A = this chain, B = another copy of it.
């Protein structure tokens, strides 16, 4: 049980600040008197805390409502949380593009910007593209870099807690890259790096098709599928951050890779050659029987991988995103096979956020970070 030990006045000040900020965010421009009532703190304490919050820029005095009248004296001062006193960035690093979104401290989007990156770009080129995109985004939004409070990043690969990429086969030169450390050189605020499917799961839970479902699997359906899952509303990273990396399942027993499954020649496709993959899909749509067979193999493999995730985790809902989610004939066989073979079949839904899912989830990481910093009191500690 967490309790105030009473020996740490700075902790007490932080707790009181968090309580007042909470009350400020939840009420419509409260007065000091209203804050005293809603927080249960003494008037001198509230006055001191509000003074400090105004000095820090997090709180501003609200303009007087013209129709507000008081029997005597001047109207009471009113305050509001200053959402524009800081900003947050969410960044998706993909195989073919970088995508970034800028919000205020409540997560309301101010500006978004994407940029294509050659799929063969090495780590330095990709990092340069990120820096250029962010600089342009801040310039367009008229926001100073110093105003950033946290940056969230979604990237393919297994990501360590410090933002180092332990393993990534999708981006050249990415394995072993200290991505968090490299990006922290560009920002004076915390940079949080997470696997792309993991943040997409967070995004669909936050404002996508899985709102209200605390147990979900997000499948990032690309050439080789990856997945992120929330269990009880919390991201399940796994013991080593590798949970959901289901793509390796077909390598066991030397089964075919997706590059081979999709081949119409018996030779594996080049996974970085998007045109080769697109050509198979086009041929299949046009009715080419060999390409159609290749597509069927590819979709069967995806269904098998998703079924493995569902049987292991038993989520309430499976959200399918990534480019392969848009293919004809993906969702229907997925639903029917899961219904047929899973002991408790989950709902299956297409991602609501689509190409925005990863940047949105990355942004949510940054928002969680500042909310924790600003609004959270040590769990179990009484607030007053």
CB < 8 Å neighbour of A239 from B238, B303, B315: B315
CB atoms of A248 and B377 under 8 A apart: no
A238 neighbours in B (Cβ, 8 Å): 215, 313-315, 344
Smallest beta-carbon distance A376→chain B, Å: 10
The residue in chain B whose Cβ has the minimal distance to the Cβ of A338 is: B252
CB atoms of B313 and A312 under 8 A apart: yes
Smallest beta-carbon distance A260→chain B, Å: 16
Residue A3 CB within 8 A of the other chain: yes
Residue A130 CB within 8 A of the other chain: no
CB atoms of B313 and A313 under 8 A apart: yes
CB atoms of A248 and B308 under 8 A apart: no
Residue A158 CB within 8 A of the other chain: yes
**Considering the complex, which residues of chain A in the window 303-355 have a beta carbon less than 8 Å from any beta carbon of chain B?**
303-304, 307-309, 311-316, 337, 341-344, 346
Tally of A interface residues using CB under 8 Å: 50
Residue A243 CB within 8 A of the other chain: yes
Complex Cα–Cα for A246 and B337 (A): 15
**Considering the complex, which residues of chain A in the window 242-290 have a beta carbon less than 8 Å from any beta carbon of chain B?**
242-246, 248-249, 251-253
Smallest beta-carbon distance A167→chain B, Å: 5
A382 neighbours in B (Cβ, 8 Å): 1, 3, 382
CB atoms of B383 and A303 under 8 A apart: no
Smallest beta-carbon distance A369→chain B, Å: 20
CB atoms of B344 and A242 under 8 A apart: yes
Q: How many protomers of this protein does the assembly include? A: 2
The residue in chain B whose Cβ has the minimal distance to the Cβ of A314 is: B238
**Considering the complex, which residues of chain A in the window 118-153 have a beta carbon less than 8 Å from any beta carbon of chain B?**
none
* A366-384 vs B, Cβ < 8 Å mask (1 yes, 0 no): 0000000000010111110
Residue A231 CB within 8 A of the other chain: yes
The residue in chain B whose Cβ has the minimal distance to the Cβ of A308 is: B308
Residue A227 CB within 8 A of the other chain: yes
CB < 8 Å neighbour of A243 from B1, B304, B313: B313
* A150-170 vs B, Cβ < 8 Å mask (1 yes, 0 no): 000000001000000011000
Residue A96 CB within 8 A of the other chain: no
Residue A66 CB within 8 A of the other chain: no
Residue A236 CB within 8 A of the other chain: yes
Residue A240 CB within 8 A of the other chain: yes
A303 neighbours in B (Cβ, 8 Å): 252-253
CB < 8 Å neighbour of A242 from B245, B308, B342, B383: B342
Residue A44 CB within 8 A of the other chain: no
CB atoms of B304 and A341 under 8 A apart: no
A selection of 26 A-B contacts at a CB cut-off of 8 Å is: A1-B380, A1-B382, A1-B383, A227-B312, A229-B312, A236-B313, A238-B344, A239-B314, A239-B315, A241-B314, A242-B343, A243-B313, A244-B312, A244-B314, A245-B343, A246-B312, A248-B311, A248-B342, A249-B307, A249-B308, A251-B341, A252-B304, A252-B341, A308-B308, A308-B312, A382-B382
Q: A246-B312, A249-B307 are in contact. List 17 more A-B contacts (CB 8 A).
A: A166-B344, A215-B238, A227-B312, A237-B314, A238-B315, A239-B346, A244-B311, A245-B343, A248-B311, A249-B341, A252-B303, A252-B337, A252-B341, A253-B303, A253-B304, A253-B337, A313-B313
A interface residue numbers (CB < 8 A to B): 1-3, 158, 166-167, 215, 227, 229, 231, 236-246, 248-249, 251-253, 300, 303-304, 307-309, 311-316, 337, 341-344, 346, 377, 379-383
